[in-house]
Amino acid sequence: DTGVSQDPRHKITKRGQNVTFRCDPISEHNRLYWYRQTLGQGPEFLTYFQNEAQLEKSRLLSDRFSAERPKGSFSTLEIQRTEQGDSAMYLCASSLWGSRGENTEAFFGQGTRLTVV
Amino acid sequence: KNQVEQSPQSLIILEGKNCTLQCNYTVSPFSNLRWYKQDTGRGPVSLTIMTFSENTKSNGRYTATLDADTKQSSLHITASQLSDSASYICVVISFGNEKLTFGTGTRLTIIP
């Protein structure tokens, strides 16, 4: 257990439905990352937060995707109008970014496996 | 474009044998490089972190090397065990924004 938890672990949804995933990072970590991983591939960056601020969004994050981290603690990733191509593992990671620019290693959650049917 | 390439894509070896996984990257500017182990259906778990000045680092049966001049890294596993069966992912972190760029991983299978 890395200390990063994701919920749910698995989600099956019909095409066109909306889904929301939650990530609880390690409590003192101020950076939180979302990645998407398809079978046989490495994780692809989606977005990351420093505290509650969303600092970067990948072009992979279409307008159907939205992520929030309202209080700088847990984060949610919502996918609207899901498509079959959204089927993947969605990974969350957290790290501690220091005031001098040093960054601890990123710890990953177990992921949420999304299947769109 | 910042990229991380790993080889081989997959590898099957007998239990007890050694193996070496390769990682080449073009990420710049470079901050550090990490090797992660990912079991099927689980999140990646860190094995080693290599900074610019480090050439070799060991963690039990895992030894990572880094050549920052040629932008290459390797992960050597000695006396492999069945539990080593997993994907091994090389991740390079950019200096400044600390962005993680992932390789596609090497799928390692240990057979008895």
pLDDT level of residue A100 (50, 70, 90 thresholds):
low
Q: Residue B101: which of A114, A106, A4 has the closest Cα?
A: A106
Chain A residue with Cα closest to B9: A40
Mutation for testing the B interface, residue in A37, A92, A95 having most B CBs under 10 Å: A37
Residues whose CB falls within 8 Å of the CB of residue A38, separated by 6 or more in sequence, listed in order: A87, A88, A89
Q: Distances from the Cα of A28 to the Cαs of A73, A97, B27, in angstroms?
A: 9, 10, 28
In angstroms, the CA B36 to CA B38 distance is: 6
pLDDT in tens, B20-73: 999 999 988 888 999 999 998 889 999 988 888 889 999 999 999 999 999 999
What does the pLDDT read at residue A97? 79
Assess contact for A28 and A37: CB atoms under 8 A: no
Task: Name the phi and psi angles at B53, rounded to 5.
Answer: -90, -5
Residues of A in contact with B46 (CB under 8 A): 105-107
Tell whether A98 is within 8 A of chain B (Cβ): no
The pLDDT of residue A53 is above 80: yes
